Amino acid sequence: MKKACIVTLTTDFGLQDPFVGIMKGVIYSISPGATLVDLSHEIERHHVEEALYTVQYAYPYFPQGTIHLIVVDPGVGTGRRPLLAESEGSYFMAPDNGVLSFLFDRKPACTVRAITSQKHMRSEVSHTFHGRDIFAPAAAWLSRGVKPEQLGSVVTDYTRLNIPQLLMSEHGIRGEVIHVDRFGNLITNVQQIHLEPLLETGRALIAEIKGTQIRGLYSAYAENRSDRAGMIINSFNLLEIFCYKESAAEKTGLRRGDRLHLLSAPWS
């Protein structure tokens, strides 16, 4: 078998309980040479969309062949299927709850399989801990060189989430806050490239959200030392709303799912 590869772990388990450690123990028991990387175990409980965001913007920084294991699974123990998706040389394992929706419309198309091979699961599968009993062993065997087709057959009827889409018009851009990080920064689904038509006007960029108006695009957090929120392009090239050394979420009362309207206006 091939040399074991990298396996990333993303869960909502936190670190108080032994769940993450147990999953690692299962993986190492099968694939002792695997390299395990914790992306996050602080995903909000049962929040599939937050897990989607975390993996979507993190996985491009890993080499091809990496296995990304995502266990945010409010449907554990039900009829929902465990999935394996392969996209451009990387692998993704997760419940069939829409957390892999960011892959499904990629070009070239990804291949999605339902994990059904009992040979590559633990002999006893509980109703409450598929991370230990299905996903960890399947990821470990895949890292050892087991072929995806040995884990299960291709499926096309997987669950899709309604990922927020941008609306762009001559009147501006309508987007959405998709994540609030631990600093209280409000991260939107507006990419830097989407802003270029507005910025080319030479006018001020304005975001309107729930009656709140935010002005000014900064190149560093410390450029805006006022008590007002500002905007910045973050390290994922997404528009972010921040307050210097404070939580923009707490200061503005805005949260994930809030819609925003971006437009340009004369400098005041």
- 228 vs 244: CA distance, rounded Å: 9
- 130 vs 115: CA distance, rounded Å: 12
Quickly count: other Cβ atoms within 10 Å of residue 21's Cβ: 11
Q: How is the chain split into domains, by residue range? A: 6-151, 167-265
- Provide the pLDDT for residue 168: 86
The answer to whether 153 and 114 have CB atoms below 8 angstroms apart is yes
- Provide the pLDDT for residue 106: 82
Q: What CATH number matches the domain at 6-151, 3.40.50.10790, 3.40.50.300, 3.60.20.10, 3.30.70.2520? A: 3.40.50.10790
The verdict on domain 167-265 having CATH code 2.40.30.90 is: yes
155 Cβ contact partners less than 8 Å away, ≥ 6 residues apart? 81, 83, 112, 113, 114
- Provide the pLDDT for residue 238: 96
Beta strand 6-11 pairing with 35-40: parallel
6-151 and 167-265: identical CATH topology: no
pLDDT tens by residue, the chain, 268 residues: 456 689 999 999 999 999 999 999 999 999 999 999 999 999 999 999 999 999 999 999 999 999 999 999 999 999 999 999 999 999 999 999 999 999 998 878 899 999 999 999 999 999 999 999 999 999 999 999 999 999 999 999 999 998 878 888 877 899 999 999 999 999 999 999 999 888 877 778 999 999 889 998 999 999 999 999 999 999 999 999 999 999 999 999 999 999 999 998 766 6
- Provide the pLDDT for residue 268: 62
